[in-house]
Structure 1
């Protein structure tokens, strides 16, 4: 049904006369909810509006509906109003609708497919058929994000007792699994004293241990209070910071995939942020960014990262973006790169993923405006094109050496340098080669 017996919702723009509904005149719209502090049910099966007799029976021969519309009524087309929110004559003007057009991307859970999406398409198609819209589908692209599932833990109660047997020994007893709060479990090991304090029924609990520990069972399930596997993000933020939480959520896996919330990998994300911070500071924690000119190798790392992250953002592949940042930070750490021309654009690129650390570093770099006003850096293909190649030198089918040559070096010059090299002279033992095969940009084969 379309009616709801509650206060919150759009009131029906109809008037009942002799129990027949009639639409309100356009000049009487919009019909707004009346002010009230009485939101209790009416007691007769009608919603709270039925308590407001003067509003319902506003005329001797007419009355309003005490029901309200469901949330779909407004939620199904609010995105159209966003296009022209201050228009007082119509929901949106043609100029605004033609400019903004369809919503580019809709991200929502699959449970929306038969509710919000259904009504959004209905509204849009009706408005299109009435001539208000020049499109008949509301969204250009749909992405159903996956669920974050919980990593549940179980204790095993010996049937008819208040004894609990460790997971590895449970097959020796008749036992029943019980969910236990993950907050009192370290990995898989139960804090038995905390368990006794968790619920009054367990205060006298006894434990059958294995190797001196109580090991819990586990399962990946829907995250739910009923399963005691809900993770409070405030605890993560307090221990690691909000940026770590944001990055770890993205790093868990593809956006569309359902993923278990397992915090064992969160320390790796935290270490990445510390490593990124250390690029700007010396070992004593002092600011240490120079204006020196970057090397070509450093520019290659920077621009390959920018290119990768830009592509990943466009593809909603945020997990691989985080991986790219981690690889980049590792390479710059190895190169001991602390150059402004490299770190400044990298900070901008990271800002959407880790806004707090990026904002602080941006200010320390000398900027007075927020990093979010900066344009996303553009990658330069010239730094991504290789100018040289390290050729494996194969002698009679076995790689004996590697030599670096410019990619545009003629084969004749490569052959001369290879045959004159110390490694080839050693392995050829003075024998003249029968054949030298050079595959440009791949390998040099010498047949003796």
Structure 2
């Protein structure tokens, strides 16, 4: 069989008959199966693409045969930093390189033989898509969910430009290796924190991997406590959040983030040089490094003091690197006696350690971080920690110096990027009118083609006068466009809503239609997106629901993460290691179906594992065996009737057992066990084929079921064999085989025979017989009977269909 000729043949037939395309008339049976869309890189499809798209396509085909109207679209997450960096290095425009890469990937994805609905293709870099990304921004702005504030960015003093986190390597610029510092810029944010509680509680009802839900819970990070106001001697106020208000009397210092505005304002003249130097050095460290539990916590006294509101004691103010201005209030209280980090900090800077909570056991040496009974806390002495937390915050509430509060670790989503290759932010800045949203009728704000990419301190768009200079939509005066573009995660936060209505030129999607098509029934992609893309998509869905566009709250009902295919050496694939597996090399030799089946059989889908050439060779032999049998069976002359004896019953049992197992396994992405069951079925077919006398009609039907089971996993090959068997329509129009439970009830069963609980042999007996009949068969069996001669059977213990224990 010429697999390459067959692949081309069936791909053309599928396209001609539109077998892969969604039919809206059957929307009541819809099943929306979606793989996370890909970034269009210059490289060809790698194993990871295949593992995600190829195997999820098998699941989608399985669902189609189960009677669903499957919608499986494909598109490209086409904006992003790599194309811009490539332009800086080569001079090739990001639009040109991206569209060429998309064209290449489209071809290879089509050659995969997947059931993608190309009528619904989207490319996030095209105007007919990013127009609606800009529409989404404006809708969020109208609802108060988009706003501007100052926030730190990575800044390379040598390149004089902003760097993305991925461009910072070991604290240095990846281009020139200069130490990167933090610099504050005014940027746009989405107020995802408004949905923190719903994002948290909504996880409970999702069919998602528990690990992913746990990661989102930790990322959202709900804490219940109190927000307490401290006042500097200058009169400036700042707030700290704490879950341990019971330790407030033990505060011996407060720490501000080095980038907190009050640090510069409150630093005394004699401390200025030391503080300025500390702030600069801290700006070189990433947030991850600053929060690392193994990193030594440092700080610098700024020369100023604050008043503890509960006891009016004066405590020193430090700038400390472990406090982030972008997290919480940017200020923390230091209680050395009851916090390990604060205890080490106090020892380092010779600060007082005041115990205010006493344990009730022997192991309460400092720092004592558990709950206990309050001491040295004036009128609050003798309370339990829980009682003291409430009582102390209640006292501060009366004084307007505190409040009970729920805090979240989740921070608002920074969406500004000082980049070119992204969706322009649809805002105009007017000196008279301020920030003015671009009118909807003027969307899209088009990305100009003629830009200068060389880094010089300005974003590429800021240097483009034709783009930047506009008239204010309100007053008509001279104004400037926003020079930044949107984070590419904004583009991917709503793409699943666009797919079903991808060709709608009047609106991002038709709400009535989308509310029938969504949520996505099965979403498949990498676990690395747990706390970014998946969280942002949930936020956007809830925001659009509250605007009245959607009637559902969660975008993805069920989520599956594929594992990672490693190199043959068990390490992650990389060019430097020389262990990269190229799918093209194997597909040229074996064809796409063999490669797909190898991925299905060789790995547990959610775990992955190391690649082995032995696996693809074994699958190739498996396919050869199927082809040989198909050739024989297709030549069998059809006969009416035929015996249905023991051999037919045995094959029918394997047939229906396989159908039951494969149906179950395909549903839960357990592809490796599904293929294993098919291999057993094939062995049973070969065993039956070896018989001189066969029920040919039954044999063809059984083999037909085998091919139908195989079809989602090897679509081109199965189509060809299905046609060989005389079928006129595609196998994917055929219903998925259904298990006949009656065939799983055996007339006879082989059971173990024990004497006084020790194994002595096996015997085949009819099912459903009583104890007297079992006794008779034992005494008549040529192997068991001699062992019973002269012995009395005192008792028979029978475990139906499994075991007979003879008590002598």
Normalised TM-score (structure 2): 0.43
SS at match of 1:367: coil
Selected match of 2:668 from 306, 312, 315: 315
In the TM superposition, what is the alpha-carbon distance from 1:135 to its structure 2 partner?
A: 2.8
Does structure 2 conserve the Cα–Cα contact (< 8 Å) formed by 1:248 and 1:266?
yes
- 1:22 matched to 2:375? The reply is no
Count how many residue pairs are aligned between Structure 1 and Structure 2: 375
- 1:388 matched to 2:741? The reply is no
Report the equivalent of 2:796. 437
Taking the aligned partners of 1:364 and 1:407, their CA distance within structure 2 comes to 39
Closer, same or farther in 2 for the Cα pair 1:112/1:288, shift >3 Å?
Answer: same
Taking the aligned partners of 2:806 and 2:792, their CA distance within structure 1 comes to 7
Report the equivalent of 2:285. none
Report the equivalent of 1:374. 734
- 1:304 matched to 2:667? The reply is no
In the TM superposition, what is the alpha-carbon distance from 1:312 to its structure 2 partner?
A: 0.8
Does structure 2 conserve the Cα–Cα contact (< 8 Å) formed by 1:42 and 1:51?
no
Report the equivalent of 1:342. 702
In the TM superposition, what is the alpha-carbon distance from 1:55 to its structure 2 partner?
A: 3.6
SS at match of 2:481: coil
Report the equivalent of 2:682. 329
Report the equivalent of 2:766. 406
Taking the aligned partners of 1:421 and 1:311, their CA distance within structure 2 comes to 39
In the TM superposition, what is the alpha-carbon distance from 1:39 to its structure 2 partner?
A: 5.0
Pairs within 5 Å for 1:151-300: 151-152=568-569, 220-282=570-632, 287-289=634-636, 291=638, 295-300=648-653
Does structure 1 conserve the Cα–Cα contact (< 8 Å) formed by 2:423 and 2:447?
no
Selected match of 1:354 from 714, 721, 741: 714
In the TM superposition, what is the alpha-carbon distance from 1:223 to its structure 2 partner?
A: 0.5
Report the equivalent of 1:41. 453
> Does 1 or 2 have the higher relative contact order (CA < 8 Å, sep 6+)?
2
Closer, same or farther in 2 for the Cα pair 1:44/1:280, shift >3 Å?
Answer: same
Does structure 2 conserve the Cα–Cα contact (< 8 Å) formed by 1:149 and 1:222?
yes
User: C-alpha deviations, 1:233-283, integer Å up to 9, x for none?
Assistant: 11111232222211111223222214112223322222111122222134x
Q: Structure 1 stretches of 5 or more lacking a match?
A: 153-219
Taking the aligned partners of 1:379 and 1:32, their CA distance within structure 2 comes to 57
Taking the aligned partners of 1:258 and 1:395, their CA distance within structure 2 comes to 46
Does structure 1 conserve the Cα–Cα contact (< 8 Å) formed by 2:430 and 2:479?
yes
Does structure 2 conserve the Cα–Cα contact (< 8 Å) formed by 1:400 and 1:423?
no
SS at match of 1:134: coil
In the TM superposition, what is the alpha-carbon distance from 1:49 to its structure 2 partner?
A: 4.0
Does structure 2 conserve the Cα–Cα contact (< 8 Å) formed by 1:81 and 1:92?
yes
In the TM superposition, what is the alpha-carbon distance from 1:325 to its structure 2 partner?
A: 1.5
- 1:71 matched to 2:488? The reply is yes
Does structure 1 conserve the Cα–Cα contact (< 8 Å) formed by 2:426 and 2:445?
no
Closer, same or farther in 2 for the Cα pair 1:446/1:61, shift >3 Å?
Answer: closer
SS at match of 1:62: strand
Closer, same or farther in 2 for the Cα pair 1:401/1:31, shift >3 Å?
Answer: closer
SS at match of 1:313: helix
Report the equivalent of 1:192. none
Report the equivalent of 1:189. none
In the TM superposition, what is the alpha-carbon distance from 1:299 to its structure 2 partner?
A: 1.7
Q: Structure 2 stretches of 5 or more lacking a match?
A: 1-413, 472-476, 691-695
Does structure 2 conserve the Cα–Cα contact (< 8 Å) formed by 1:9 and 1:69?
yes
In the TM superposition, what is the alpha-carbon distance from 1:75 to its structure 2 partner?
A: 0.8
